[in-house]
Amino acid sequence: MNESTITPSSGPETVASTRQMRWGTFLRNLVKNKLAIVGAAIIFFFFVIAFLAPYIAPHSPSATDLMNRFQPPSAENWFGTDHNGRDIFSRILHGASLTLYIGLLSVSIGAVFGILMGVVSGYYGRWVDTVIMRVVDVLLAFPGILLALAIVSALGPSLHNVIIALSVYNVPVFARIVRASTLEVRKLEYVEAIRALGASDAKIVCQHILPNIVSPIIVKATLQIAVSILSAAGLSFLGLGAQPPAPEWGAMLSDGRDYMWDSPHITIFPGIAIVLVVLGFNLLGDGLRDALDPRNKS
Amino acid sequence: MHIYVIRRLLQLVPVIIGVTLVSFLMLQLIPGDPAQVLAGEAASVEQIEQMRENLGLNEPLPHQYLSFLGNLITLDFGQSVRTDQPVIDIIAPRFWITIELAVWSILVSMFIGLFAGIISATKQYSFADMGIMLVALIGLSMPNFWLGLMLMYWFSIEWGLLPTSGWGDWRQIILPAITMGTAGAAIIARMTRSSMLEVIRQDYVRTARAKGVKERYVIYKHTLRNALIPVVTVIGLQFGYFLSGAILTETVFSINGMGRLVVEAISARDYPVVQGTIIVLALCFVFVNFIVDIIYRLLNKRIEMN
């Protein structure tokens, strides 16, 4: 069947204009939500730091200076120096890109596989759904960082194994919500109608189902970045993540822990950096959720 | 209800099989020969061959998995590479320490979370509400091990009020329980607030108010009881998450529970212990979820009957 005949002539415009309207309300809602703006600003700030770190860092992140170990914060070393005499401020600046890299990459990989599994599961149903959902159940049966810990302990400690482990950890999260949304959208009358008119599965999924489930995915992805950054920091703290001398914030906390008695500044500053960046993603995620929630259309 | 419990129990079977299968395959993921891994790095060629023979590692994988499963049913998790002790004997005493830590942490998070959530919901958009929600979000954004280190610095090192490490004395419980309970408190507070706000908008609450029922009564009798049902689920899930949270908290405070055990076993490459601990923690989580589902169902049913 020719595609132009199945689309009513007024169709594309109406769809486009409602979509535009939806984006309009969404953006208005988002801007109204001051906390979401604060979150976005924090994230933007850390991206700027991540890109500019090599130019703005006052010292090299790995230059050791054994004459200058355990220096408290001063004009020369804003956040003090660590047990190797390295400038903590410069290390935190350089660590920003690592943290964002881990968070964004593990969520992106996890989301791609999770969306694929969720759409297939929700769209085809039957035994495919049963099998995929049982796999998801099993992956979710490992609480918190336990699954990531198991994977990293088998693969060996490294930054990339942490990303692999956290990607696997993110897959079931996305598979679940995408499946639920797909089921909802698939039952809509117009989707049934297009299918009855003979549109291919791929076309229905790409043009009608995916655009409809984008918003829950974006909200979840934002919040999962926060969770993944925290988990990665935890794994690094246990010595299973980025290996020295990488200026990874979790690993810096692990270093600082041994010198808590006399030099707490080694532990304080990387922790604050983690809290801030995670708070940014949590604020933005919460704000996006509120802005996209149809019940909040006042 | 009985049918629901049985159906829910049957659903557990594939999950339990899956969890054990993933843990079994974990050993295959490790680069190198599993027999070498299980015999330890110092093992001789003969010892490795012996290990291969004993564990049936020459058998095809499905066979191996079935005998692995058979051993698990008799609580045989294999032997530690380091000490040759049965893994179950190493895990058992530490299991209760982790459970105890999780119980204290859940008490902390329930107490703070419910209290804060109720205040927030009853005074929506007030200064207190916004403050509580902001603090909750910061609590959610904090790595709990870092919070633990900070609490340790101030309360133990700087002010000398509480011990830095160990387990047993009540004073040693306070900091780890707060460390682990904070994120849980934040989640429970947020959930309590949104659940209560949902219920407050219901018709029967409006009716109660219209009848002239006192506000305190409206809140505690009509709203809270119904609003707490979804919160129960969240509290149950938190308990499960604390089992994995214990990995970091126990490491920070040097508590000899299962969490610290798994970290030590990983760095010593004592894989049978790692595997055993992961299986026990995951199965506990599955079991807790099961109980939470049943309780949720029971509570919901009471409402239906009322």
DSSP letter string, A65-106: -GGGTTPPS-SSSTT-B-TT--BHHHHHHHHHHHHHHHHHHH
Residue whose C-alpha is closest to residue A233's, from A70, A43, A140, A96: A96
> In Å, how far from its chain's centre is CA A26?
21
> Nearest 5°: phi and psi at A81?
-120, 160
For B266, the closest chain A residue by CA position comes to A153
> Nearest 5°: phi and psi at B8?
-65, -35
pLDDT at B303: 55
* Residues ≥6 apart with Cβ < 8 Å to B268: B81, B82
**From first to last of its 298 residues, what are the pLDDT tens digits of chain A?**
343 333 343 444 444 455 555 677 777 777 777 788 999 999 999 999 999 988 988 888 887 778 878 888 887 878 888 888 888 899 999 999 999 999 999 999 999 999 999 999 988 888 999 999 999 999 999 988 898 998 998 888 899 999 999 999 999 999 999 998 888 888 888 888 888 888 888 888 888 888 888 888 999 999 999 999 999 999 999 999 888 888 999 999 998 888 888 888 889 999 999 999 999 999 999 888 888 776 554 4
Are A156 and B152 inside 8 Å of each other by CB? no
Cα B33 to Cα A48, A200, B48, B248: the distances in Å are 46, 47, 9, 30
Highest-pLDDT range among A18-32, A93-107, B17-31, B215-229: A93-107
Q: Which residues pair with B79 in a beta bridge?
A: B86
For B18, the closest chain A residue by CA position comes to A138
- A142, A222, A223, best to mutate vs chain B, most B CBs in 10 Å: A142
Q: What is the widest separation between alpha-carbon atoms in chain A?
A: 79
Cα B142 to Cα A22, A274, B147, B179: the distances in Å are 34, 7, 7, 10
- For B142, the closest of A138, A275, A286 (CB atoms) is A275
> Nearest 5°: phi and psi at A200?
-75, 160
Cβ proximity of A93 and A56 under 8 Å: yes
Out of A252-266, B14-28, B203-217, pick the least confident.
B203-217
Confidence of residue B77 (pLDDT cuts 50, 70, 90): confident
Cα A214 to Cα A181, A187, A210, A211: the distances in Å are 9, 17, 6, 5
Q: Residue B94 is inside which H or E element, if any?
A: helix B87-122
pLDDT at A223: 94
Q: How far is A253 from chain B (nearest CA, A)?
A: 8
> What's the CA gap between A267 and A246, in Å, rounded?
16
> In Å, how far from its chain's centre is CA A94?
19
Q: Is the pLDDT of residue B74 over 90?
A: no
Q: Is the pLDDT of residue B296 over 50?
A: yes
Which two three-digit tokens encode residue A90?
A: 């410069």
pLDDT at A20: 59
- CA torsion sign for B69, B75, B77, B79 is negative
Mean pLDDT of B158-166: 83
* Residues ≥6 apart with Cβ < 8 Å to B183: B109, B139, B140, B142, B144, B245
What burial letters (b/e) apply to B123-137, b meaning 16+ CB within 10 Å?
A: eeeeeebeebbeebb
Are B247 and A149 inside 8 Å of each other by CB? yes
Q: Is the pLDDT of residue B244 over 80?
A: yes
Mean pLDDT of B160-170: 81
Q: How far is B157 from chain A (nearest CA, A)?
A: 6
Tens of pLDDT, residue by residue over B117-153, are 999 988 888 888 989 999 999 999 999 999 999 999 9
CB atoms within 10 A of CB B302: 10
Q: How far is B224 from chain A (nearest CA, A)?
A: 22
Q: Which residue has the tokens 């401020």?
A: A89
For B29, the closest chain A residue by CA position comes to A154
ipTM confidence: 0.89
Q: How far is A146 from chain B (nearest CA, A)?
A: 6
Which two three-digit tokens encode residue A244?
A: 């020295």
Which two three-digit tokens encode residue B144?
A: 């709990």
Residues of chain B neighbouring A275 (CB-CB closer than 8 A): 138, 141-143, 146
Which two three-digit tokens encode residue B176?
A: 């780890």
Are B26 and A142 inside 8 Å of each other by CB? no
Are B138 and A275 inside 8 Å of each other by CB? yes
Residues of chain A neighbouring B266 (CB-CB closer than 8 A): 149, 153, 238, 240
pLDDT at A83: 81
Judged by DSSP in three states, B65 sits in helix
